[in-house]
Amino acid sequence: METREDNIIRTDYSEVMQKSYIDYAMSVIVSRALPDVRDGLKPVQRRTLYDMYELGIRYDHPYRKCARIVGDTMGKYHPHGDSSIYEALVVMAQDFKKGKTLVDGHGNFGSIEGDGAAAMRYTEARLEKLTQEVFLSDLDKNVVDFLPNFDETEKEPEVLPVRIPNLLVNGADGIAVGMATSIPTHNLGEVVDAVKAYIKDNDISVKGLMRYLKGPDFPTGGLIVNKDELLSIYESGTGKLRLRGKVEIEKNKGGRKSLVITEIPYTMLGANIAKFLNDVAGLIESRKTTDIVDISNQSSKEGIRIVLELKKDADIDRLTALLYKKTRLEDTFGVNMLAVADGRPETLSLRSIIEHHTDFLFDITTRKYQTLLAKEQEKKEIQEGLVKACDVIDLIIEILRGARSREQVKECLVDGKTEGIRFKSKASEKAAAKLRFTPRQAAAILEMRLYRLIGLEIEALMAEYEQTLANIASYEDILNNYDSMCAVIIKDLDRIKREYGTARRTVIENAEEVVYEEKKPEAVEACFLMDRFGYMKLIDKTAYERNKEAADAEYRTVFSCMSNEKICLFTDASRMHLVKAEDIPLGRFRDKGIPADNLSNYDSTSERILMVAPLSAVEKDKLLFVTEQGLCKITAGEEFVSSKRTIASSRTAEDDRLVFVGLSDAMDQVALQSTGGYFLRFLKNEIPDLKKSAMGVKSMKLKPGDKIENAYLLASRTECTITYRDKPFSLNRIKLAKRGTAGTKPRA
């Protein structure tokens, strides 16, 4: 088959991939993840609200099933998953997430504690009054452009004609490709005041706007405690808010007090409330505080109420500082005011957001009054025709009676054509020839009902005409006079603030950063236990004494240590991991313990623990290291004193691993065992003292393929017995030889 050269497009593969990825990224950014600065809505939110408007699910109409709304939105405007549409609908109905809810939900729409909403087949919804009157009310006045939907069978608005900066009022969050937005909610009344201030003075600074808009206002209340940083955040569009929950002190019977959390940081919404309770319980279990007697979550639909019952002599200030420092009762909210402006993503300052929205507000107001003016001018034309027709009504009736068709009458009224029409007199015909109504006036005259000829109806018509003239003059003044348009917009904003404004919920102040100094717990002697699976625990010394036989039999490592020191874990990967003893739970003898993986960088899948010892014992001793390939060395323990969690304990070749690490000061002999069954015993003082960075010296001459399997430290006058070939075998029976020689095989 022949291929025409002019059909082959040759291009660089990287260019195709780059263009495709950029197209995809921009599609996600603009069409899915980021809100538009004009209406503050993401496409899924905008489409859902418009669909509810089209379905007639108004605030004063009955609720409709959410499944119907989701299905209709998906079929007409948003060809994505139903879960994304329902999730957007649910969030717009949750008063603990939005500054102003846009949807009135009926049924289980989730809770502040993270409970999910019921399935869409159970819940119902309708528009809020605010949404209908402030977001959707002027769609019939050509105030915004309409675009074809995904399959070009419907039309949808490019943006909704929102008359308040919804981007600030309800905030936004979303993750796009390579960028994310996080805008806090604000108080509607303060936002309206800031817009009015900008309209009156277009050169107003961010600092000037902040005289009206004090800062974020979260639906969960709480406190913002870095007031002085707000100006920088609003000027740059990025920064961090420091949030705190509101804490109150209540007196109980018996002189006790309770710490009651009545408001939480916005970031603690959902599952983080349960995490906060777990964190408080963790502080009690780890004995970082002993002031809390009981924790109870008494939150309800009326609001948050988390009660911490305290001891009589509790240090409340210190406990509050601990909660702020160690839990999410104090948290940060990352601000990144990113939105789609003029078709592209842009990080906006407070002034930029208000400027963009005010420009949009003037645009929709201009288009609204242009539409109203055109309707009034059309009405004026018709009314003038009807008034004029009333003056010559007898002539018009004569034309109607003498004409043969509607078209004849219309031509006579518009152009004065009298041919084919019978008149009672020549005077009437001459008068008819002078008629010059417009086509629209002629159509209105032909449709006029006879009752309009009653005297009172004619007076009403004249009054309507006068009103129309007044409306036209008013609309032209608004369109041609900047001050008049400003007055109309400000009047509308005042009405919105008066009807929908609420008191501020979040307190803004400056507060010093919490300083909390942990009291170091008194060091006590405990017993460290580790089983063969790497689970560690500390038990009381007396508990160990009561269970000494069982502990020594069941656990691979048992030793005494102080509760404030560090534990060293030496592994076959030539690494030493340090674990704080205070991080190991102090429990009962039969408790399971905690895996070493959880408290250190130890990885049980790639390394094996060879020796565990307290750091205090290691630094006073010397350690023997033996590898599979037969290298050995002795290293001073003080080299392993470190503040790092993990250090290299020795240097080994890539194909070599450690098989033994042991404290050697108390021993004077070393015994080696190979996988081939060879044993070698020699004096420990034949091994040189080397740095931990050294590889070591030859310990035993190995046959090809043979490896060191184990090593033992022996005392010369103490018998050491191991199990070899399922039988007891005394290492002291091995003939004492020299380091670096070949081992011997014991007789069967």
pLDDT at 2 over 60: no
Phi, psi of 474 (to 5 degrees): -65, -45
Tell me what the mean pLDDT of segment 227-256 comes to: 91
First to last CA, the chain: 81
Q: How is residue 496 written in tokens? A: 């919105």
CA max distance for the chain: 153
Do strands 566-571 and 557-562 pair parallel, antiparallel, or not at all (unpaired)?
unpaired
Structure tokens of 317? 């200030």
Q: What is the mean pLDDT of residues 519-536?
A: 83
Number of Cβ within 10 Å of residue 366's Cβ equals: 14
In the DSSP assignment, the letter for residue 162 is: -
Average pLDDT of the residues of the chain: 89
At 453, is the pLDDT very low, low, confident or very high (cuts 50, 70, 90)? Answer: low
Q: Which residues are known to be catalytic?
A: 122
DSSP 73-128: HHHHT--S-HHHHHHHHHHHH-TTT-SS-SEEEES----TTSPPPPPTTT-EEEE-
- The DSSP symbol for 459 reads H
What single letter denotes the amino acid at residue 604? S
Quote the tokens at residue 597.
Answer: 């993986």
pLDDT beyond 50 at 1: no
Q: What is the pLDDT of residues 575-601, one digit of tens each?
A: 999 999 888 888 888 888 889 998 899
| pLDDT tens digits for range 381-415 | 888 888 888 778 878 887 887 888 888 888 888 88
**H-state helical runs in 392-454:** 393-402, 406-415, 426-433, 439-447
CB 712 within 8 A of CB 663: no
678-724 pLDDT tens trace: 999 999 999 999 999 999 999 999 999 899 999 999 987 788 888 88
**650-676 tens-digit pLDDT:** 999 989 999 999 999 889 999 999 999
Rounded Cα gap, residues 325 and 242, in angstroms? 12
* Selection from 609, 739, 622, 588 nearest residue 692 by Cα: 622
User: Taking 80 as the threshold, does the pLDDT of residue 503 lie above it?
Assistant: yes
Percent of the chain with pLDDT over 70: 95
pLDDT band for position 100 (cuts 50, 70, 90): very high
Contact in structure between 181 and 196 (CB atoms under 8 Å) = no
Q: Which residue has the higher pLDDT, 517 or 18?
A: 18
In the chain, what are the domains?
A: 41-161 (3.90.199.10), 246-328 (3.30.1360.40), 356-499 (1.10.268.10), 525-733 (2.120.10.90)
Tally of CA atoms within 13 A in the half-sphere of 307 that contains its CB:
14
Q: Report d(CA 708, CA 661) in Å as an integer.
A: 13
DSSP string, 281-302: HHHHHTTS---EEEEEE--BTT
Q: Find which of 3-12, 225-234, 586-595 is predicted with most confidence, using mean pLDDT.
A: 225-234
